[in-house]
Structure 1
Amino acid sequence: MSKNSSTRYATVPLPAGFPDDVTLPKFVIELGKRFDDAGYELALVGGPVRDMFLSSTVTDLDFTTDAKPEAIQQVLTGWAHTQWDIGAAFGTIGARYGDWTVEITTYRDEKYDPDSRKPQVVFGTELIEDLRRRDFTVNAMALRLPDFELVDPFGGVKALVAGVLETPGTPEASFSDDPLRMMRAARFAAQLGVTVSENVAAAMQEMAARIEIISAERVREELVKLMIAPTPRAGLELLVRSGIADYVLPELPALRESSDDAHRHKDVYQHSLQVMDNAIQHEADYVEAPNFVLRFAALMHDIGKPKTRRFEPGGKVSFRHHDVVGAKMVAKRMRELRFDKDTTKAVARLVELHMRFYGYGEGEWSDSAVRRYVTDAGNLLPHLHALTRSDVTTRNKRKARRLADNYNDLEARIEQLAEEEELASIRPDLDGQQIMEILGIKPGPLVGRAYKYLLDVRLDQGPADYETAKQALLDWWADQPEAQTPDDEA
């Protein structure tokens, strides 16, 4: 980078009223001057302004202007290193300046038709009207450039200091315009540690069903952002209290149905939230944080309990096979929310396996059982470690200590066996080509059956040499009906 570019990438302090440690890239002033010289307004808007008041690092630069998309592109020409059309129909142009990505959007007003999932966009001419359409007052603030004049017509700073979400207009009008804002309120509760005002909370309850017009993809994105926020519990509880969870994640409020009036067993809803909180505490020890797969599996691990609840003699309550039932339920919900296959499969697998450790007892598992535990978890083993430890919410300190000691023992055994056998990559002692050569068969399902059998042998008995594995394969083959079939018919 040249000295000239170093100067342009330098940072500048903000005017009085902002935290002293907050700065912005110097090129923001340069960009503001370019628009001003061209006869247009430009303002830094929304999240970046909010985050500066919170002394948070500004990583996104979102601007708004009275220039139309074509004019934005003209102003950026010769300044931006690259630029692209994010959505000219919605007034947004993207640009890259060094390592920074900026988005510049024409003042606009967008509303949802009562029966449509797509917003109607109309370009505006006034900054304050553009701010009026935004979701919450904490996001309806702007810095006019290049002079850094704060524009806060709806009391965003005051709301931010109070830690309360308010809407620029009435919440009913705001949520009618874009119902996803109700989920965004929950996300901000998780992300910023704020609460919602009484009128916002009332509107969310009254209008919860309107979330159904929002596409599954947009709901999913808000849910993911909520789950990886610092305190997702706050957002999830707001979704449940408002009734929005009944439409977007009904399995969560349904957990409250697993409790009984006599309180003879734990509150599954509160337990699930606690397990998620525990997982957040454990995740950095096992996986990259924040980790959506772990957190969501922790939240949903017991969703099979309402369907499997049974009252046993003596007043006991059982939830047999809730792990298997829950895995199917979470996979179904994630498919409906349009999650990708890998993420869905990972979360469902963790839900299915979350009870596996409780057969470990006092460490009496055989080496074979330990191998199967590792093999069944596959690359999700670190997630399973974190989830299993997080699932201990008992107030009985002696029981909690015993479970922790048992899991310490299991992890130690896994590590020992891994050193001896490379557990993470366990394979049968014979590969597919060797199986076909020994049995004289062609590629097909039969090879897969033989391969699976040898994998079971490997898990049960540990590694074997070629001759031992070959004999095990031949013994198995002798009992197969295909062994009596000529090769060209097999």
Structure 2
Amino acid sequence: ALSHTLLAVERISWAIDWLRSREVNIPLSQEDRLCLGYAALFHDIGKRDAYSEDEEERVHFYHHEDFSSQAAEGIMKRLRFSNLLREKTIHIVRNHMRLLNLSRETKETALKRLAHQTGEEIPLLVIHTLADKEASRGVLSLQRDEVVENHCLRLMELFRQEEIVRPASLVRGKDVMALGYQEGPKIGEILDHIRKKQVEGEIRTREEAIILLREKFGLK
């Protein structure tokens, strides 16, 4: 609804102040602030296309974030937004449900993966999530609020860990090719798997990465 969208825009300042009250200070450039505003405006724009009803006439908006990001990208291209602002905004819109969908039982490894995948945009995603949550009061319970807030704070803690957000490569394409693989997409998939295990803390050294590489991907 338009009222929720406008409230989400308004609550951006609240989210920044809330984080500051928890000693989480996020320096924001003018472009960051524009990104937050546009992401709030666009984040639910695709709900109309995602609308569905089940057999009990309950309304759903499955994957509306995908429809929203596609619509937002089209609008921002037509209006000639800068590539950087458009890419950052689309990233937030596409991922805006990820923190909201996490449960109290979400494992630390899942949060680490999210932190790695979101990277430098973690602060913007956290601010947007808090603003969106606050604009949904009455829909979310206070207990649910606490879960979202705790995950947001934890994600900001992970943002400060280089080995999670920007991990150094333990192995490279040549290490995979040494196992007999030809240059191609498969090498990228294998490296992504190794990096995932690195982010989750299962491997920490090049030696451990090589062992995993040989055990899991060695050609028979």
TM-score range, shorter chain: 0.7 to 0.9
Query: Which structure has the larger Rg over C-alpha atoms?
Result: 1
Instruction: Please give the per-residue CA displacement for 1:282-312, whole angstroms capped at 9, x wherever unaligned.
Output: 3475341651111100111001100011123
What is the CA–CA distance in structure 1 between the aligned matches of 2:216 and 2:6, rounded to whole Å? Answer: 48
Shift of 1:419: 6.3
Contact 2:123 2:156 survives alignment (8 Å): no
Distance in 2 (alpha carbons) for counterparts of 1:395 and 1:405: 12
Query: Are residues 1:357 and 2:99 paired?
Result: yes
| Deviation per residue, 1:263-290 (Å, 9 max, x gap) | xxxxx11111111111143347534165
State the match for 1:315 in structure 2. Answer: 57
Distance of aligned partners of 1:397 and 1:317 in 2 relative to their CA distance in 1, 3 Å threshold: closer
Return the letter of the residue paired with 2:68.
Answer: G
Kept in 2, the 8 Å contact 1:283–1:386? The answer is yes
Query: For structure 2, which runs of at least 5 residues remain unmatched after alignment?
Result: 21-25
Counterpart of 2:118, as a letter, is A
Partner letter of residue 357 of structure 1? L
1:416-435 maps to which residues of 2 (within 5 A)? 417=158, 422-435=163-176
Change (3 A) 1:444 1:396: closer
The answer on 1:302 being equivalent to 2:35 is no
CA drift at 1:421: 6.4
Give the conservation status (yes or no) of the 8 Å contact 1:287–1:382: no
Q: Structure 1 272/474 Cα, relative in aligned 2: closer, same or farther at 3 Å?
A: same
Task: Please state if 1:455 is matched with 2:195.
Answer: yes
1:282 aligns with 2:15: yes
CA distance in structure 1 between the aligned counterparts of 2:194 and 2:159, rounded to whole angstroms: 19
> Is the aligned partner of 1:293 residue 2:63?
no
Name 1:375's counterpart in structure 2. Answer: 116
Deviation at 1:343, TM superposition (A): 1.6
Structure 2 residue corresponding to 1:336, chosen from 78, 101, 115: 78
Measured in 2, the distance between the counterparts of 1:455 and 1:317 equals 39
The aligned runs of 1:199-348 (5 Å cut-off) are 268-283=1-16, 285=20, 286-288=26-28, 290=30, 291-348=33-90
Q: Which amino acid aligns with 2:198?
A: R
**TM-score scaled by structure 2?**
0.81
Which structure is higher in RCO with an 8 Å CA cutoff and minimum separation 6? 2
Residues 367 and 427 (structure 1 numbering): CA distance in 2 closer, same or farther, change over 3 Å? farther
The CA RMSD measured in Å over matched residues stands at 2.8
**Deviation at 1:329?**
1.3
Distance in 1 between residues matched to 2:82 and 2:66, nearest whole Å: 21
Give the 3-state SS of the residue equivalent to 2:45 in structure 1. coil
TM-score under structure 1 normalisation? Answer: 0.39
Output the amino acid matched with 2:9. Answer: M
Partner amino acid for 2:95?
L
Q: Does 1:468 align with 2:201?
A: no
Within a 5 Å distance, the mapping from 1:129-208 to structure 2 comes to none
Change (3 A) 1:307 1:394: same
Instruction: Please tell me whether the aligned partners of residues 164 and 199 of structure 2 are also in contact (alpha carbons under 8 angstroms).
Output: no
1:439 equivalent in alignment to 2:179:
yes
* CA distance in 2 between partners of 1:372 and 1:361 (Å): 15
Cα distance in 2 for partners of 1:395, 1:441 equals 53
Deviation, 1:412, is: 4.1
- Whole-Å separation in 2 of the counterparts to 1:398 and 1:450: 39
Conserved? CA contact 2:39–2:89, under 8 Å: yes
Pair 397,305 (structure 1): closer, same or farther in 2 beyond 3 Å: closer
Change in 2 beyond 3 A, CA 1:448/1:413: same
Partner of 2:23: none
- Matched with 1:45 is none
Higher strand share: 1
**Counterpart residue identity of residue 203, structure 2:** P
Q: Is the 2:122–2:155 Cα contact (8 Å) retained in structure 1?
A: no
Structure 1 portions without partners, runs of 5+: 1-267, 485-490
More helix, by proportion = 2
State the Cα deviation string for residues 134-167 of structure 1 (Å, max 9, x = none). Answer: xxxxxxxxxxxxxxxxxxxxxxxxxxxxxxxxxx
**1:398–1:344 distance in 2 versus 1, CA, 3 Å:** closer
Question: 1:280·1:295 contact (CA, 8 Å) conserved in 2?
Answer: no
- Indicate the residue corresponding to 2:129 in structure 1: 388
